[in-house]
């Protein structure tokens, strides 16, 4: 996390607080999560080099860039953001970070993630009301997903045989996970 300066991913008016361990507004009712929360999520996610990672709710692009550093150039990271302006700003900040194996795109309306595609790791940076089954289905055998469910940090592990297990890891505050109606 030290290798990715949070300032570069914040609106100008928020940059003076970048070193503080607190969420910071990035507009559109969304936040750049506080660093200690991101660190806790990444520890649970346990991202290996070369992994294929989905970052749902990529917001400012900060976590997408951190994930790209973790997977390295043999990996792949896709950040999805529902808010068009944030997706554009996040993609611009990500491009400046020189990690071409990562991208941020606007999320498709009415879907979470990319149904039909599979990932080694999935990070969700918004609180779901219930475990998002559509994202569980996108998790490869041996994969892990970290998602706040009703603000409880939940680790989802799909074992090599396809069995899914969940465990809870503390309470955190997140903006709500929004599923837009289909376009």
User: In terms of C-beta density within 10 A (0-12 exposed, 13-18 middle, 19 or more buried), how is residue 151 classed?
Assistant: middle
Q: Does 134 qualify as catalytic in the annotation?
A: no
Distance between CA 151 and CA 164 in Å, rounded? 20
Distance, CA of 30 to CA of 11 (rounded, Å): 12
- How do residues 55-79 score in pLDDT, each as one tens digit? 999 999 999 999 999 999 999 999 9
pTM over 0.75: yes
pLDDT by residue (tens digit) across 35-44? 999 999 999 9
Instruction: Give the integer Cα–Cα distance in Å for 112 and 181.
Output: 11
pLDDT at residue 14 is higher than 60:
yes
Dump the DSSP string for 49-116: TT-EEEEES-TTSHHHHHHHHHH-TTSEEEEEESSHHHHHHHHHHHHHTT-TTEEEEEPPTT-SS-TT
* From 33, 58, 60, 125, the catalytic residue: 33
The 3-state DSSP class for residue 170 equals strand
- The answer to whether residue 181 scores a pLDDT higher than 60 is no
Confidence bin at 151 (pLDDT 50/70/90): confident
- Element housing 134 (H / E): helix 133-136
């Amino acid at each position: 996390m030290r290798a990715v300066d949070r300032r570069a991913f914040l609106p100008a008016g928020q940059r003076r607080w970048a070193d503080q361990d607190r969420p910071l507004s990035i507009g559109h009712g969304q936040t750049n999560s506080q660093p200690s929360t991101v660190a806790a999520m990444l520890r649970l996610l346990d991202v290996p080099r070369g992994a294929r990672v989905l970052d749902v709710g990529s917001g400012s692009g900060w976590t997408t860039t951190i994930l790209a550093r973790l997977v390295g150039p043999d990996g792949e990271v896709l950040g999805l953001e529902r808010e068009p302006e944030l997706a554009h700003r996040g993609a611009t900040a990500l491009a400046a970070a020189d990690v071409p194996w990562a991208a941020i795109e606007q999320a498709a309306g009415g879907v979470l993630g990319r149904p039909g595609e599979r990932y080694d790791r999935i990070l969700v940076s918004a609180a779901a009301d219930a475990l998002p089954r559509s994202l569980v289905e996108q998790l490869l055998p041996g994969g892990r997903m970290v998602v706040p469910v009703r603000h409880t940090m939940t680790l989802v592990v799909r074992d090599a045989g396809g069995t899914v297990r969940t465990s809870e890891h503390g309470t955190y505050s997140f903006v709500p996970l929004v599923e837009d109606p289909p376009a």
